[in-house]
Structure 1
Amino acid sequence: MDEHLHAHAPDGATGKQAGRCEADPDGRAHAHAHGHDHARGAACATADGAAGEHAAPEPGDGYRHFRVSGMDCASCANTIRTAVGGMAGVSDVRVSIGRERMFVAFADGRTSPEAVRERVQGLGYGVELLKDDAPASRPARLAWWRTRKGLHAIIGGLATAGAFAAGRLSPELGHYLFVAAAILLALPIARRALAAAAAGAPFTIEMLMTVAVIGAVIIGEPAEATVVVFLFATGEVLEGYAAGRARAGIEALASLVPNRALVEENGTLREIPASAIRPRQIVVARPGDHVAADGTVVEGRAHLDQSAITGESVPVSRGPGETVFAGSVAIDAALKIRAERTAADNTIARIVALVEEAQDAKAPAERFIDAFSRVYTPLVAALAVLVATIPPLVFDGAWETWIYRGLALLLIGCPCALVISVPAAIASALSSAARAGILVKGGIVLETLAKADLVAFDKTGTLTRGRPAVTAIHAVEGSEDRLLALAAAVETGSSHPLAEAVLAEARRRDLAPVLATGVKAIAGRGVTGRAEGRKIFIGAPRFAAEEGTIGPELAARIDDFEQAGNTVAVVVADGAGIGAIALRDEPREDARQGIAALKALGVETMMLSGDNPVTAAAIGRTLAIDDARGGLLPAEKVEALRGLSQERRTVMVGDGINDAAALAAASVGMAMGSGTGLARETAGVALMGNRVLDVARAIALGRATMANIRQNVTIAIGLKAVFLVTTVLGATGLWIAVFADTGATVLVTLNAMRLLLPSAGAAGGRA
């Protein structure tokens, strides 16, 4: 928040920022004039679509929504998108792996939703057409051995073991059993392969596997064909399990909001579905209950466990007038809460939607890998054909030997491990961050955070608690109480922290209210109005000097206040300075620790404050900030950040209210605080726990994510490269080729899941 008493972001503020959301309909980054006017745009996150990245469709927007189960990686989504996108009358298809959703837009009546469902089902996926007005729900998860893929793997294992056992007794019987097992086990895979090919997606892992199995049987290697199918089925089960684990964290978060809620109406309690809660209803949370709605406490005081939302493990006390979040747990007392939002719009729902949409958004690294994989598979398939035909035709090699090696190369040609290497890491990182109360709006933000080398902070509400208090008053004219009453008169109605501090001090002294008229905020300067027949101005010293005369006595006291680290508000009446009010906002408990953590990561720190330079320097020294700048207007903050961002990767941390333009000007903006609408603000990251230390954690997580991606790509390409060479040389066969694909996919997924560990972002390093 800008330290000038009533600053706001200038209209039309722009900037290049990772994860920036441009949802404000009137083109302003943010508005603030003595109050707060939050832009109510859509969540700043995207879903990958057919031709790029698009916001996820909402109910009633012309798209039909389908739930699709069984998608484990981006290759699955690409196959579905290609198959459905090629249907007559379908104008757009978007697939979300994280949410297990498909969104289809129909241009005319040539294709029905039922036809789309049948086509996707033919590819081997579970499909359910959702009603537009149906509330979002999470399907029950089946145990792996009850799923179609699980049964396929179990039957494959039993068939393989049975054929091996029979082969011990009779090699001829074992041979025929292997042939039968290979063909029967390959049938479901072949059916999916043919369906995908007919829909315009011929280069799928199912097609490569089908060709390899048929070829192996033809050249007399049915045992290898059977084992290949069994290993493939086992790999699919492991991939599905790993993908489910990545989704589990977000599903657990969504499950925190209870299905039923107690509401009070006319003095009586009744139970209703939580989805039926409407704003202004009184919701009751008993000890041990999960709060059913975002709202304001109207009666009672209790300690709440908000760890799922803010990442803070210590319970917080909440009483009348204070905000609570849906999903919080009332620990020791009952609360009556006035609901502020519906269930579909509460904080938990927003967090879940934000993380799921962010997982769908493709980072630059992921787009590159996708483009590479589209070339890689046909290239390896062509190489397999050459390996199978050139040596026998040109060098008189044995057909069986070289066809076998060509078939092994086909299996190596599957890009699954490579395609999943980036999204698996990003999805795990986003889920891990959300559990810690850090909302990151997509992989591109994580990539930029990994390269960040400068973090700039706002002061009030960011490095400090945002709850300043009056520490001293100096009146040149009249008494301190009279000066305070005049200041409070023009500040009445403001929600600015400094204004609230003045009003709180007036209430503490029980001063008689003074009526002010014509009150108007002057952007970035202060506020003016008329009280007791006089024109009153209250603002920072340098602007007060422009509004009136500041005598030597008052100037000396202002200097004393500032040297002591106070923020000073000067009161001017009819062109003459009549006094000054000193206010102090103490640093957050973890501010020094957070700055130290950034320095440990090799990140330079800076403070951009609208407060006077002397006060800013004092705070900077206290927190050991590298560069503390004061006296900056909002536009000057933007200019400073734009200049720095030309050559460096910058992060701007503000409270998300007055700092929208500065947040947009940085490479990445971080909004401190868990206030309403954070997920819809300009920032690419929202720090729900109000912790300065989370800035370093977010950067460390970004670096850990990029390191994980590099490891994944190395595993995926490295294994395939090694086995490609050994296959051509004849050192390895079909079994190992399957391991090079399925094994690499499982290894990549398990490696990405390390980012789900609480320690993932605890230690950073240089990117």
Structure 2
Amino acid sequence: MDKKCCSAKAESHKVEEQITCCSSNTINTVVKDECCNTPSMSKEENTKITTCCSSKESDNDSSIPVGCCSNSGNTLDPVNVNIDAGIKEEFRVYGMDCPACAVTIEKSLSTQQSINGVNVNYSTGKMQVSSTEELEFESIQKQMKKLGFEVEPIKVNNNFKNYFIEGMDCGSCALTIENHLNNLPTVKHVRVNFSTGKMKIEHENSTEEIIKEVSKAGFKASLITPNKQTHSPARSSNQNGAVIFSGILIALGFIGSYTGISPSLTITMYAVAMIVSGYKPVKSAYYAIRSRSLDMNVLMSAAAIGAAFLGEWLEGATVVWLFALGLNLQNRAIEKTRKSIRGLMELTPPEAWVKIGNELIKKPVEDVSINDVIVVKPGDRIPLDGDVLEGESSVNQAAITGESIPVDKGKGSFVYAGSINEHGSLSVKVTKLIEDTTISKIIHLVEEAQEKKAPTEAFIDKFARIYTPIVFILALLVIIIPPLFAFGTWEDWIYKGLMLLVIACPCALVISTPVAIVTALGNAAKNGVLIKGGTFLENAGSINAIAFDKTGTLTEGKPKVTDVVVFDDSEENMLSIALTLEEYSTHPIAKTIVNYTKAKNIQAKIGSQFKNRAGKGIQATIGNDTYFAGNVKLFEEIGTPIDSHLEQILSLQDEGKTIVIIGTVENIFGIICVSDTIRKTTKVAISNLEKVGVKQVVMLTGDNEGTAKTIALEAGVNRYFSELLPDEKVDAIKQLQEEGYRVAMVGDGINDAPALATADLGIAMGGAGTDTAMETADIVLMADNLEKLPHTINLSRKALTIIKQNIWFSLIVKAVALLFIFPGWLTLWIAVLSDTGAALIVILNALRLLRVKSE
């Protein structure tokens, strides 16, 4: 191979050829070697594989099938052969950890009767199922649960609605609501997410009935209406009043016990305080038990009732009051984490001024159609995405792209919904409906990300499901066994058992991870960085090498023609041939040459039989001769004598210029030199990446050695790979991984799809301008601003640190409390305080992520 891998000091390394397995129908699904089920291919066979997700074949032979072994759209996998046949339905899958999970799901579901095709896309978390008859969601859900995954249908359904849920204190509360509603025959499917405080439910009865059923379980629900500004319901002032009132009663009872007030009166005050503060927890506990769920309400209610049974009225009242107070404080704190993204929802105004003839009519944004013309006045937020028809202004689009400086907009400019028109009136032609705007997609993707469980969160949830019942059973054994064998009184051991019940509540542990992830995702979104889930947030924190595509990532991606060298021909004729060849190419360098020649009023010739030479250039027939435009490798391949010009070509390449040679098999007519410029933010970004602990910053480019070396030195990267074909970028990523690095790949989200997917983390640039990048990459930098990358890595690492702190703190508090039970050093109210206090501290610790700033 001719591929070169060099450090910025021109050290040479050899890269071995490896097989690239990729999906044929998704642009970012590349399955690593361990997930490939097809036999190994030889190097010769591999050259005939379609460059992943591209319509351009590696050897121009379109008859060769795609050699993919992906779980997503693999043409060699019999599971997916008939995916287009029969009735098709799409589902969202939760809990996949790697592409191998997708393969497992496909193989399992394909064994069911009537299913003739299954296609699972790990990257997007979506599954398509094709069946010969109407699919039964319940059977698919049951099978998926057996495999350890959760699934929900993706379909337009008027009965499928979203609700805000108020009053959830931990993940077990969400399970209680789900279990309660699943017992209703009118509810088809329900999913409650504690982290976001939302419930997604498909039901046939009315909204009022669902709200009533949720209230029976001890929680408050409110419908989220589409395309409207929404906010979480405020905490009820009645709950605050109940906490204050019961606190006063406990204080009066405590004082009265030392001032001669009759014991019956103090007990009455304690009992009333217990009823006032404990009504909601006991009610929730009742529905939790009915739903076969051991949540914190069950444990705390049992502890309080047990204390009253033992005659410890002050202790029981204090337990209930501290529990209610702790929940109040927790809910206030966790609401801040849920607001980390909710502010984006309020950016788009609910109405727009629509120009109809000579009149301006105010309409709700959902009533505005594509191609309508809206007028945005100075200081107003832009309600919908569109193109500027008239007017000039500066627009603050920080909410979408994270750019702190307003961007000048004029006729032909694209503007985003939610951005602020600083000055000047703008007439905008609407290009997207409210549900399709960039900011709507950002909100949708971030909310999806918040609902996806990170590996740490999934592990903690599994641990809590095992831990809670075990400790509950242990508490019963502590209550029963010792007194049976005369090791103390029943009262002492019942009291110790009740304390153990309180300690059994893993609320702080369960909260430790999701609140940190939700907060970090919200922070990133507000800074113009879209992280697609907790898994990718955790991955970003472990990255120690980053590979950059050169063109359009490290550089501006807007090359300019710097030199035109002519041999044995006129400049006009040579440029005319170049224009003819490059006019049909979409490559950035080709566009540069076309623009240059047209600016000089050069006319194109009549060409035919255009053929792309992947990674080398292009050819076409003009008249009776075949002409070529491309790099040295192309002309060496076709056998053109270039030795006499090689010294001049190498000299120009050493200056960092990209060389495009124009000629035929017999002769070279001339050379066009093109060069790109480094982005202003590149050096600062790379410097900051090294500061946050990234050990290797690598550049990948198809350019020659000279150009690559010049750009690498200017950008400040540690290492570069030059003269890469598109599929060879994958090999470069794999080599870094084999060297022990956790690698992130930064590209444009389309051309670099195979490398983005092969890397441990795929990061796309400029997602605000391309829906594909937003849909396919793991992390999207909404603006073309590399300075957001160090912030993302830093935020991810701080999130991981806080998650570890929370987990260890929660476990240590539990361990200390357990040790203090048996010597009699722990009281029931201290046990409650340690539980609710630990949960509150965990939440407040996670909130520190809101203060992580983009430098």
CA distance in 2, matches of 1:716, 1:11: 42
What are the within-5 Å matches in structure 2 for residues 669-748 of structure 1? 669-673=762-766, 674-678=768-772, 680-748=774-842
1:177 paired residue among 269, 283, 291:
269
User: Helix, strand or coil for the counterpart of 2:191?
Assistant: strand
CA distance in 2, matches of 1:139, 1:242: 19
Deviates more, 1:648-657 or 1:688-697: 688-697
Which residue does the alignment assign to 2:750?
657
Which residue does the alignment assign to 1:124?
218
What are the within-5 Å matches in structure 2 for residues 373-522 of structure 1? 373-492=464-583, 494-512=585-603, 514=605, 516-522=607-613
Contact kept in structure 2, 1:57 and 1:103, CA below 8 Å = no
CA distance in 2, matches of 1:102, 1:401: 43
CA distance in 1, matches of 2:770, 2:346: 21
CA distance in 1, matches of 2:782, 2:840: 33
CA distance in 1, matches of 2:530, 2:483: 58
User: Helix, strand or coil for the counterpart of 1:634?
Assistant: coil
User: Helix, strand or coil for the counterpart of 1:467?
Assistant: coil
Contact kept in structure 1, 2:774 and 2:780, CA below 8 Å = no
Deviates more, 1:634-643 or 1:422-431: 634-643
Contact kept in structure 2, 1:362 and 1:442, CA below 8 Å = yes
Which residue does the alignment assign to 1:225?
316
* Cα 1:224–1:82 shift into 2, 3 Å: same
Contact kept in structure 2, 1:9 and 1:634, CA below 8 Å = no
* Cα 1:524–1:221 shift into 2, 3 Å: same
* Cα 1:750–1:550 shift into 2, 3 Å: farther
Which residue does the alignment assign to 1:753?
847
CA distance in 2, matches of 1:59, 1:328: 30
Deviates more, 1:45-54 or 1:568-577: 45-54
Matched letter for residue 519 of structure 2: S
1:559 paired residue among 622, 644, 650:
650
Deviates more, 1:119-128 or 1:662-671: 119-128
2:712 paired residue among 620, 624, 627:
620
* Cα 1:46–1:97 shift into 2, 3 Å: farther
Matched letter for residue 800 of structure 2: M
Contact kept in structure 2, 1:86 and 1:200, CA below 8 Å = no
Deviates more, 1:206-215 or 1:522-531: 522-531
Contact kept in structure 2, 1:276 and 1:343, CA below 8 Å = no
Contact kept in structure 2, 1:47 and 1:56, CA below 8 Å = no
Deviation digits for residues 275-334 of structure 1, max 9, x if unmatched?
233333333322212122222333333221111112121112223333322111121223
Q: Which has the higher contact order (CA 8 A, sep 6+)?
A: 1
Q: Is the aligned partner of 1:571 residue 2:651?
A: no
Query: Which consecutive residues of structure 1, in runs of 5 or more, have no partner in the other structure?
Result: 21-26, 763-767
CA distance in 2, matches of 1:458, 1:712: 37
* Cα 1:317–1:513 shift into 2, 3 Å: farther
1:15 paired residue among 5, 15, 30:
30
1:76 paired residue among 144, 162, 173:
173
Contact kept in structure 2, 1:610 and 1:632, CA below 8 Å = yes
Shift of 1:138: 4.6
1:236 paired residue among 316, 323, 327:
327
* Cα 1:86–1:295 shift into 2, 3 Å: same
Contact kept in structure 1, 2:748 and 2:773, CA below 8 Å = no
Deviates more, 1:60-69 or 1:670-679: 60-69
Deviates more, 1:78-87 or 1:313-322: 78-87
* Cα 1:747–1:651 shift into 2, 3 Å: same
CA distance in 2, matches of 1:529, 1:268: 54
Q: Is the aligned partner of 1:350 residue 2:441?
A: yes
Shift of 1:444: 0.9
Deviation digits for residues 447-486 of structure 1, max 9, x if unmatched?
2222212211110011111111111111224333443333
Shift of 1:708: 0.7
Shift of 1:364: 1.1
TM-score (norm: length of structure 1): 0.88
* Cα 1:75–1:46 shift into 2, 3 Å: farther
CA distance in 2, matches of 1:57, 1:96: 16
CA distance in 2, matches of 1:47, 1:238: 37
Matched letter for residue 410 of structure 1: L
User: Helix, strand or coil for the counterpart of 2:524?
Assistant: helix
Shift of 1:373: 0.5
Size of the aligned set, in residue pairs, is 735
Which residue does the alignment assign to 2:361?
270
User: Helix, strand or coil for the counterpart of 1:373?
Assistant: helix
* Cα 1:573–1:283 shift into 2, 3 Å: farther
Which residue does the alignment assign to 1:667?
760
CA distance in 2, matches of 1:681, 1:489: 35
User: Helix, strand or coil for the counterpart of 2:727?
Assistant: helix
Deviation digits for residues 186-245 of structure 1, max 9, x if unmatched?
2322121111211222x1111111111111111111112112111111121222212211
Shift of 1:96: 2.9
* Cα 1:664–1:317 shift into 2, 3 Å: same
Shift of 1:705: 1.2
* Cα 1:498–1:321 shift into 2, 3 Å: farther
Matched letter for residue 538 of structure 2: E
Deviation digits for residues 690-739 of structure 1, max 9, x if unmatched?
22233322222221111111100011111111112112221121111111
* Cα 1:548–1:297 shift into 2, 3 Å: farther
Matched letter for residue 163 of structure 1: G
Contact kept in structure 2, 1:392 and 1:402, CA below 8 Å = yes
Which residue does the alignment assign to 1:334?
425
Shift of 1:433: 1.0
Contact kept in structure 1, 2:548 and 2:746, CA below 8 Å = yes
* Cα 1:246–1:532 shift into 2, 3 Å: farther
Query: Which consecutive residues of structure 2, in runs of 5 or more, have no partner in the other structure?
Result: 4-19, 36-49, 58-72, 74-89, 93-120, 128-140
* Cα 1:651–1:122 shift into 2, 3 Å: same
CA distance in 2, matches of 1:666, 1:586: 26
User: Helix, strand or coil for the counterpart of 1:652?
Assistant: strand
Deviates more, 1:286-295 or 1:660-669: 286-295
User: Helix, strand or coil for the counterpart of 1:94?
Assistant: strand
Shift of 1:98: 4.7
Contact kept in structure 1, 2:161 and 2:202, CA below 8 Å = no
Q: Is the aligned partner of 1:608 residue 2:704?
A: no
Contact kept in structure 2, 1:56 and 1:357, CA below 8 Å = no
Which residue does the alignment assign to 1:23?
none
CA distance in 2, matches of 1:340, 1:55: 33
1:156 paired residue among 246, 249, 268:
246
User: Helix, strand or coil for the counterpart of 1:500?
Assistant: helix
CA distance in 2, matches of 1:194, 1:582: 77
Shift of 1:557: 3.3
Shift of 1:156: 3.0
Deviation digits for residues 346-385 of structure 1, max 9, x if unmatched?
1111111111111111111111101111111122222322
* Cα 1:513–1:153 shift into 2, 3 Å: farther
Deviation digits for residues 112-152 of structure 1, max 9, x if unmatched?
9877554433111223567xxx62445444544x3554344
Deviation digits for residues 585-635 of structure 1, max 9, x if unmatched?
111112122222222314211111111122112111222222211111111
Contact kept in structure 2, 1:290 and 1:327, CA below 8 Å = yes
Deviates more, 1:56-65 or 1:594-603: 56-65
Shift of 1:532: 6.3
Which residue does the alignment assign to 1:582?
673
Matched letter for residue 60 of structure 1: V
Q: Is the aligned partner of 1:31 residue 2:46?
A: no
CA distance in 1, matches of 2:628, 2:339: 56
Deviates more, 1:628-637 or 1:63-72: 63-72
* Cα 1:517–1:135 shift into 2, 3 Å: farther
CA distance in 2, matches of 1:464, 1:608: 12
* Cα 1:10–1:375 shift into 2, 3 Å: closer
Across the aligned residues of Structure 1 and Structure 2, the Cα RMSD in angstroms comes to: 3.2
Deviates more, 1:468-477 or 1:746-755: 468-477
State, as a whole percentage, how many aligned pairs show the same letter. Answer: 35
